A and B are shown apart, each in its own frame.
Chain A
Amino acid sequence: DAGVIQSPRHEVTEMGQEVTLRCKPISGHNSLFWYRQTMMRGLELLIYFNNNVPIDDSGMPEDRFSAKMPNASFSTLKIQPSEPRDSAVYFCASSLAGESKNIQYFGAGTRLSVL
């Protein structure tokens, strides 16, 4: 299996622009997680899906952030409009919910810089 695939790996954009991050989970996994990692705040869970349905979006910072999972093999995280404080590394992870372990498999991340 190719693992969790995220794109792009790096994104540089200007303040006010729309940013879309993409994630392909491991085939067969039914839970998907979006995280943000910064030096100041560490690793934060933004939102997670189970069977393509958003379960907990309490970590989404504000209305500028939105996430979708139209099918089991694809998810997007959108920031509109972007701000410099959104600069961070964004990770997607997937797991097989229902088994008792809930081990998560992470993608390589998208490093976002908002100028």
Chain B
Amino acid sequence: SQQGEEDPQALSIQEGENATMNCSYKTSINNLQWYRQNSGRGLVHLILIRSNEREKHSGRLRVTLDTSKKSSSLLITASRAADTASYFCATHARGNEKLTFGTGTRLTIIP
């Protein structure tokens, strides 16, 4: 089963609105990362939050992490048409180099 589960699976909002996606995971982590995938392309790293951090900002992105609930959220503010993509969370556990990716949220921004 997937380590990470994103919620919702799909989200459609009007341009200019904020988009929030959630991720839940099952085991202890070293860090949690969010990636974006445009249609037909590879995944691109967006932002990383360490296990001892609770909130991180990067431009229009805001990530929160609650290790007690094993959950994270990604907020995209003032959405743009170019934000249309799938978004994945990925967890990194200590002791190895691999990431475990979630199932993704498909975000559609309506112009």
Binding site for B on A (CB under 8 A): 4, 31, 33, 42-43, 45, 48, 50, 55-56, 91, 93, 95, 97, 100-109
Given A104-B45, A106-B44: A42 and B97 interface contact (C-beta under 8 Å): no
* Chain B: number of interface residues, binned into ranges: 20 to 34
Q: What residue of chain B has the Cβ atom nearest to residue A45's Cβ? A: B98
Partner of B42, one of A55, A101, A102, A107: A107
Q: B21-51 vs A: 1/0 string, CB under 8 Å? A: 0000000001101000000111111001000
- 13 of the cross-chain contacts (CB-CB < 8 Å) are A31-B97, A42-B104, A45-B98, A45-B101, A48-B98, A55-B96, A93-B42, A95-B97, A100-B31, A102-B92, A104-B45, A106-B42, A106-B43
Q: What residue of chain B has the Cβ atom nearest to residue A9's Cβ? A: B40
B10 CB within 8 Å of chain A: no
Q: What residue of chain A has the Cβ atom nearest to residue B104's Cβ? A: A42
Contacting pair B97 A50 (CB below 8 A): yes
